Structure 1
Amino acid sequence: MIRLDNISKQNGHQILFIEASMGVQKGEKVGLVGPNGAGKTTLFRMITGQEQPDDGIVSIDAGMRIGYFSQDVGEMSGQSAVAAVMDGVGPVSALAAEMATLEAAMVDPDQADQLDAVMERYGEVLERFQELDGYALEARAREVLAGLSFSQERMDADVGLLSGGWKMRVALARILLMRPDGMLLDEPSNHLDLESLIWLESFLKNYDGALLMTSHDRAFMNRIIGKVIEIDAGSLITYSGDLDFYDQQRALSEAQRQAQYERQQAMLAKEIKFIEKFKARASHAAQVQSRVKKLDKIERVEAPRRRQTVQFEFQSPPRSGEDVISLRGVHKGYGERPIYQDLDFLVRRKERWAVLGANGAGKSTLLKLVAGDTKPDQGVVNIGASVKMGYFAQHSMDLLDGEETIFESLERSFPQAGQGALRTLAGCFGFSGDDVEKPCRVLSGGEKARLVMAKMLFDPPNLLVLDEPTNHLDMVTKEMLVASLADFEGTMLFVSHDRHFLAALSNRVLELTPEGIHQYGGGYTEYVARTGQEAPGLHPGG
């Protein structure tokens, strides 16, 4: 289906692949893993022909259609989301666009003299549209967009007016509607809320083509894939099984390589000691020579490269009062649309509330009310005694000074801290060595999120209000954050679409639904067990 044989590829000075090989067969669902910058996107681009390997062969079965979703969605505007999605399928979308133009011409008084010609053309286009089952395609396009949390209103609006995250969903919907023979999905779980994520998971499980994907969302990957391909120092290593199995196998082979390395090092040390001891003695010259030759011929075992994960350790935050957040009789709406009516909600010390709700239910609004970013229309929001709040929102990343380097940014926030402490902090959040000299303007979304998080947690607040804190984080940073926050002694209120994050850190759930607001004691895992659903209004597999 898709094969790479003995691929070598270099980007500038960086060698990405050295005689690497892999294959993906029809019906296989494969997770592609490797550290940032290892070459995952380059691999996708070689399969689609956008880049060529320096050496080796990329072969795709004749006639195979491949759909490639990448983070770079390009320009979209001047058509509705539905039309943009249908565009990916070919002639049907062009016919749909022409029908819309002709329908407008029919009711345009300035074109009344051409009405007969317009009507005749409309009949031809309509007939061809029906032959290609155009109406069914539009219904399917709407179904896919609904799965990705589009309202009818948003489906029919101009794509150009959508935010970057929603444009990503349109680009993803285009590939899904196409139902190609092979799909390459580069981070499809970014920018999706929990409901869309669960819908996409179910869609991909039922997809019968070849799937190769990357994702920073562990739970999402684990439920879909049956095989892992790892990019490791220029090689492509294939493991059968999901990510959990891959982790076990990787740890096992690393332990074996370490033991092999240590045995060889001990043997080499013994030989070198002998050579050093007897090299000056004529009586041992022959033995010394033979051992030197033997050492020259030995193929050295390399020590396994340790994945650098530094654990971030919290300083203890100051203790807050028992009542940390209290909302009483809160009303909040936008224009005609009410979000909350008469909301009462109390958060006590050491509680960790996960806020769940479909798009538009008011999750971020609640966090903004607590953070003071927005005011209630009625009612009272109180923050308790001795509460020191840390608020992470998506716009926090826009507040970084683009001209400062990472290190200068940390230094300005903590002028009293020593260089060593700040370098350790930067290292914990994935900025090691020269990385700290990068100016903030060149940072990726994930790097900005890590920097903002590092600043927030270095001098720890006792209340963390987090809106999608894992959105741009890779799996390693996410694991570090979950482990660190598990030891956090304060109070948390957060929104996340990452089920691992939700399950590991919550001990209370606030569910926002059109029918009302429900509070659950016990964390996300208990919520799923009690309601039989992973997100409000969604049932397993639905």
Structure 2
Amino acid sequence: MIRLDNIGKQNGHQILFIEASAALQKGEKIGLVGPNGAGKTTLFRMITGQDQPDEGQVAVDRGVTIGYFSQDVGEMSGRSAVTEVMNGAGPVSEVAAELKELEAAMTEPDRAGDMDQILERYGEVQARFEEMDGYALDARAREVLSGLSFSQEMMDGDVGNLSGGWKMRVALARILLMRPDVMLLDEPSNHLDLESLIWLEQFLKGYDGALLMTSHDREFMNRIVNKIVEIDGGALTTYSGDYEFYEQQRAQNEKQQQAQFERQQAMLAKEIKFIERFKARASHAAQVQSRVKKLEKIERVEPPKRRQSVAFDFPQAPRSGEDVVSLKNVYKGYGSKRIYEGLDFMIRRKERWCVMGINGAGKSTLLKLVTNTTEPDDGTVTVGGSVKTGYFAQHAMDLLDGENTVFEELEESFPQAGQGSLRTLAGCFGFSGDDVEKRCRVLSGGEKARLVMAKMLYDPPNFLVLDEPTNHLDMATKEMLIAALAQYEGTMLFVSHDRHFLAALSNRVLELTSDGIHQYGGGYTEYVARTGQEAPGLRS
């Protein structure tokens, strides 16, 4: 359906692709992977024709429809969310728009003379609309929006009043409703809660078109894709299998390439030693000449490209008392909406609680109560002795000084630390070389999240409260964070929609549901085994 033949592409001084080739066939579901800045978004733009390769060609079969979801959703306002979604549904939405125009024309007195033509055209368009199952469009649009956690009120309200994250969902719903032959999805799992993520997973599994997508959620990727295309060093390499298989295969390939490289280096060293030893002797001149020629013809094996992955070693946090936080008979509401009524909850040292619940269940509110960033309406929140809290919330990223460079931000936070130590810290969180000189105002969401995390973990608290810490983080940074937090000796309370993160780090689950609050011993994996569901909103 889509072929990339020997494409070359350069952005400024950066070479993204050199003679790169890949193909997307009917029914394939491909995960596109590669380090940040490798050219994943550029590849999408070349397939949609928004960008052109410098060399080679991108061939799309005639008549193939493509739906492209990107992080740049554009302006939306003045229409309801459901209308916005229906307007993006491809040809059927154009037919619906003409139908509306013709209905309006029928009521205009000054068009009375054209009524026969209008009625004739209306009959044709209506038949076409029925043929395309257009009358089911509203219901289908609502079904998709409901799957992405929209309430009826949000569906019918002005899309302009929604936050950026919810507008992203509207843009995604448009592509899903369109059901094109090919879907290109750039990070569709960002900004989704766990229930929406699992719904989307099921939707994409049942989608019979071709899919090419990027995602920083390994669990989501693993369950959907049956092939991986990796962008690395300007080349496109295809692996059959899911993300986990790709990781194993790539590690094995690297190992084999390293072994080949080392064998060849040993052989070359031996040959060069012989040439050096006998080049001055006339008796060996023919042998020396023959070996020199042989060396010139040998195709050199390159060592495998080393992925930059830096481990972060947790400095030891000071020990807290056994009782970390106690909530007794806590009441909390916003306006007429009651969130907590008589909540009793205790967090003890070394417990790692993940908080689960649908949107609006009170997950972030609980974190704010525990960190004293909001007060209960009634009841008490008591923090135990020697507890030092570190709170990561999305708003923390807005508190960075825009004019500071990354390095200055770290220096201001830790004036006693040495330059080498701060550079190592920056490197662990993905700021190497000139990246430390970037001003905070130009950082991406992911870079800001990494910087806030670095500041919080350098002088570690013994109680970590994390609200969606993996939003914006790429897979490599997530893996580093999980590995670091697995070694952490303190106490944790966190909210995350990343199932890999939940399973790796929790040893307790607090579930917030409409019929009460449930506590589970054991982590997220045990919770899934016990309840039979991966998220509270999916339970019958």
Compute the TM-score of the two structures, normalised by the length of structure 2. Answer: 0.94
**Distance in 1 separating the partners of 2:19 and 2:404:** 40
Contact 2:90 2:178 in 1 (8 A): no
The alpha carbon displacement at 1:123 in A equals: 13
**CA shift in 2, pair 1:97/1:519, >3 Å:** farther
Any gaps of 5 or more consecutive residues in structure 1? none
The alpha carbon displacement at 1:136 in A equals: 1.0
Give the 5 Å matches for 1:298-309: 298-309=298-309
C-alpha offsets along residues 382-401 of structure 1, whole Å, 9 cap, x if unaligned? 11111101100111111111
The alpha carbon displacement at 1:278 in A equals: 2.6
Q: What's the counterpart of residue 235 of structure 2?
A: 235
**Distance in 1 separating the partners of 2:179 and 2:385:** 56
The alpha carbon displacement at 1:454 in A equals: 0.6
1:36 equivalenced with 2:61 (yes/no): no
Contact 1:10 1:54 in 2 (8 A): yes
Give the 5 Å matches for 1:17-416: 17-90=17-90, 93=93, 128=126, 131=130, 133-416=133-416
The alpha carbon displacement at 1:410 in A equals: 0.7
| Secondary structure at the counterpart of residue 530 of structure 1 | helix
Residues 521-530 or 305-314, more deviating? 305-314
**Distance in 2 separating the partners of 1:437 and 1:267:** 44
**Distance in 2 separating the partners of 1:207 and 1:335:** 42
C-alpha offsets along residues 342-398 of structure 1, whole Å, 9 cap, x if unaligned? 111100000000000001111111111111221111111111111101100111111
Structure 2 counterpart of 1:474, one-letter code: D
**Distance in 2 separating the partners of 1:125 and 1:492:** 63
**Distance in 1 separating the partners of 2:237 and 2:222:** 18
The alpha carbon displacement at 1:475 in A equals: 0.4
| Secondary structure at the counterpart of residue 212 of structure 1 | strand
The alpha carbon displacement at 1:133 in A equals: 4.1
C-alpha offsets along residues 402-442 of structure 1, whole Å, 9 cap, x if unaligned? 11111111111111111111111111111111211111111
Residues 480-489 or 13-22, more deviating? 13-22
**Distance in 1 separating the partners of 2:206 and 2:438:** 43
**Distance in 2 separating the partners of 1:228 and 1:344:** 47
Any gaps of 5 or more consecutive residues in structure 2? none
Contact 1:159 1:167 in 2 (8 A): yes
The alpha carbon displacement at 1:124 in A equals: 8.8
| Secondary structure at the counterpart of residue 497 of structure 1 | coil
Contact 2:330 2:341 in 1 (8 A): yes
Contact 1:469 1:496 in 2 (8 A): yes
| Secondary structure at the counterpart of residue 537 of structure 1 | helix
Residues 28-37 or 124-133, more deviating? 124-133
Contact 1:95 1:125 in 2 (8 A): no
| Secondary structure at the counterpart of residue 381 of structure 1 | strand
Contact 2:145 2:170 in 1 (8 A): yes
**Distance in 1 separating the partners of 2:525 and 2:418:** 41
Which aligned runs of 4 or more in structure 1 are off by greater than 4 angstroms?
90-106, 111-117, 119-127
**Distance in 2 separating the partners of 1:167 and 1:362:** 22
Contact 1:225 1:241 in 2 (8 A): yes
**CA shift in 2, pair 1:95/1:287, >3 Å:** closer
Contact 2:99 2:126 in 1 (8 A): no
1:533 equivalenced with 2:536 (yes/no): no
Structure 1 counterpart of 2:145, one-letter code: L
**Distance in 2 separating the partners of 1:115 and 1:356:** 59
Contact 2:102 2:122 in 1 (8 A): no
Percent identity for Structure 1 against Structure 2: 78
Q: What's the counterpart of residue 472 of structure 1?
A: 472
**CA shift in 2, pair 1:343/1:116, >3 Å:** farther
Compute the TM-score of the two structures, normalised by the length of structure 1. Answer: 0.94
Aligned length: 535
Residues 84-93 or 477-486, more deviating? 84-93
Contact 2:465 2:494 in 1 (8 A): yes
